[in-house]
Amino acid sequence: MLKSHVPTSSDFDWRQLNQLAGEDPDFATELLTIFLADADASLSRIEDAIAAQNSQSIADIAHSLRGASANVGAKALAAVACQLEQAASQDRLSGALKLLQQLHLHCQNVHRQLKLRLSNRL
């Protein structure tokens, strides 16, 4: 059974991102902006792979997304990407669309967190 989760601000670890960026807020913002662009592209590729029922592609893309998400501190996004990777690796795609929806929600949350962070810096 898939867990449904409503994204919150605690789903993102700013300390992880700041550590990765060497405590440079401008670099952290740049890293997160690049990550979000890549994550959005990954979600489109996952959607295409789900439509094609290509379990291997789904697993590969989800694996990359999981690692990138964990690196920047997007904990909830990484957790859902891990669930999708595991399901696809076992050729269980029945819940893939629901997981993709959750990935989209978590990406939107990270976008909101970034906008909030930028507005607080002005």
What's the pLDDT tens digit per position in 32-48? 999 999 999 999 999 99
What's the pLDDT tens digit per position in 38-89? 999 999 999 999 999 999 999 999 999 999 999 999 999 999 999 999 999 9
Other Cβ atoms closer than 10 A to 110: 22
At 48, the amino acid letter reads D
What's the pLDDT tens digit per position in 90-119? 999 999 999 999 999 999 999 998 888 888
pLDDT computed for residue 122 by the predictor:
57
Is 23:31 a contact under the CB 8 Å cutoff?
Answer: no
Tokens at 87, concatenated: 């399901």
Other Cβ atoms closer than 10 A to 24: 12
Other Cβ atoms closer than 10 A to 76: 22
At 92, the amino acid letter reads R
Q: Domains for the chain: give ranges and CATH numbers.
A: 13-121 (1.20.120.160)
Q: Is this structure's pTM higher than 0.75?
A: yes
